[in-house]
Amino acid sequence: MPAVVATWPFGQTAVRAAMPLLRQGRPALDVALAGAQAIEDDPTVHSVGYGGVGNSIGTVSLDACVMDGRTLNCGGVAAVENIRHVAALAKRVMERTPHVLLVGEGARLFAVQQGFALDTLLTPESVAEWYKTRPKANPNPRDQGHDTVTVLVLDQKGSLGGVCTTSGLAHKLPGRVGDSPLIGSGLYVDDTAGAAGATGVGEEIIRINGSFFVVEQMRAGRTPQEACEAAVRRLNSLAVRRGVHPARVAFLALDVKGRVGAAATSRTNFQYAVSKGNKVELVQARELDAEGK
Ligand code: ASP
């Protein structure tokens, strides 16, 4: 049963953009990329691509990665400025270089060499949003707005692919890189186990290698739902150990049977979009608090 899932309510736009390609029998990664790109192009989404809210000095700095579940081929770019389609750029890193991750100026140079246009990513609305959300005192970008789009696809041939793309935490320090471009943290895809993506406070996701954790739970026999819940429990117990409140984090997973799972820490209010035949549904994910309830 082919399927597309994507994080957050704007994921509905991603799923809608991806579905025609899925029906055409295109490979999972191409389908996922089309979905992610629709969000990168959407100026009303202030956490991804064009129209993303800037870092602490107002610069839009993007992170993205892609992974092919058939081969475990993957690519990522981090802290990239002036390039709108960073997910496609991550795919180029995968296809055209011997590397997995390019960052900053090197990634931008590679983009230009590959024919990507240099773009201004700020919009009047995203600048206004930056001023509105600018921390007044004790700046803690971890509390600021975020929301990455991760698109996971099971294609007609039964293979998985995933794409993750974001402008990261708003008001982050220049040079800060979150989980989203890091294979294993923001995204992990392996046809022999499943696909998973993460969203929320990247520092906490990196700490447990979140998406890899979810995929390995599926490899061990858990359903996508059980696997996501296991990752949230891990974050919750870690927060107790560290004496902090669990950060807002959510996981989304899809396996080769087309089963979908999602879970989040409390107060995350995580919703995701999922294809159902020709329709797109928005689903509220289960939240687990520090007691595991
Ligand atoms: N995970 C992203 C980051 O930390 C932000 C988000 O998904 O909300 O950069």
Confidence band for 59, pLDDT divided at 50, 70 and 90: very high
Q: Alpha-carbon distance 272 to 119, whole Å?
A: 29
Q: Is 178 in the pocket of ligand 1 (CB under 6 A)?
A: yes
Answer whether 194 contacts ligand 1 (Cβ < 6 A).
no
Order of strands across the sheet with 3-7?
101-103, 74-80, 62-68, 160-166, 149-154, 3-7, 271-276, 279-284
How far apart CA 222 and CA 108 sit, in angstroms, is 40
Q: Is the CB of 229 under 6 A from ligand 1?
A: no
Question: Ligand 1 centre from 287 Cα, in Å?
Answer: 18
Mean pLDDT of 61-74: 98
Residues 181-197: tens digit of each pLDDT:
999 999 999 999 999 99
Gap from CA of 201 to ligand 1 centroid (Å): 5
Q: Count other Cβ atoms within 10 Å, centred on residue 194.
A: 29
Class of domain 3-288: alpha beta
Query: What confidence tens digit (pLDDT) does each residue in 260-275 have?
Result: 999 999 999 999 999 9
**Residues known to be catalytic:** 148
Ligand 1 site-directed mutation target among 146, 147, 172, most atoms within 8 Å of CB: 146
CA 132 / ligand 1 centre spacing (Å): 19
Binding site membership of 61 for ligand 1 (Cβ less than 6 Å): no
Contact criterion met (CB below 8 Å) for 12 and 271 = no
Element (H, E) at 224: helix 224-242
Q: What are the pLDDT digits (tens) for 121-172? A: 999 999 999 999 998 765 555 555 568 999 999 999 999 999 999 999 999 9
Tokens linked to 111: 């983009």
For a ligand 1 pocket test, name from 8, 172, 199 the mutation site with the most ligand atoms within 8 angstroms of its C-beta: 199
Q: How far, in Å, from the CA of 3 to the mean position of ligand 1? A: 24
Q: Any alpha helices (H) in 61-219, and if so which ranges? A: 86-96, 104-113, 124-133, 202-207, 210-219
Range 68-96 average pLDDT = 98
- Say what the pLDDT of residue 218 is: 98
